[in-house]
């Protein structure tokens, strides 16, 4: 698992009221199984991606570690 998120993005994530999460299985870099993205709403007008996670497996244990 590889997580991409800056300190600024992490602060936005912890202070938001709504999250949108999306995991794609069809397209992912070689050596990974899934790309998981976490978005937040900005001023309730648009969303912005804050976190990108590259997952190597599709297991409950790995999803729990990610969160």
- Render pLDDT for 7-57 as a digit per residue (tens, 0 to 9): 999 888 888 888 888 887 777 788 888 999 999 887 777 888 899 999 998
* CA angle 14–16–18, rounded 5-degree value: 120
Tell me the C-alpha to C-alpha distance, in Å, between residue 23 and each of 1, 33, 44, 48, 58: 14, 10, 22, 15, 11
Please give the order of strands across the beta sheet that includes 2-4.
2-4, 46-55, 34-42, 19-24
Question: Which residue in 32, 22, 25, 37 sits closest to 1, CA to CA?
Answer: 32
What is the pTM for the complete model shown? 0.79
């Amino acid at each position: 698992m590889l997580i991409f998120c800056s300190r600024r993005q992490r602060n936005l994530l912890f202070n938001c009221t709504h999250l949108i999460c999306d995991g794609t299985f069809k397209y992912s870099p070689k050596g990974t199984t899934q790309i998981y993205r976490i978005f937040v709403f900005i001023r309730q007008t648009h969303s912005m991606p804050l976190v990108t996670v590259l997952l190597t497996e599709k297991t409950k244990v790995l999803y729990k570690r990610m969160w």
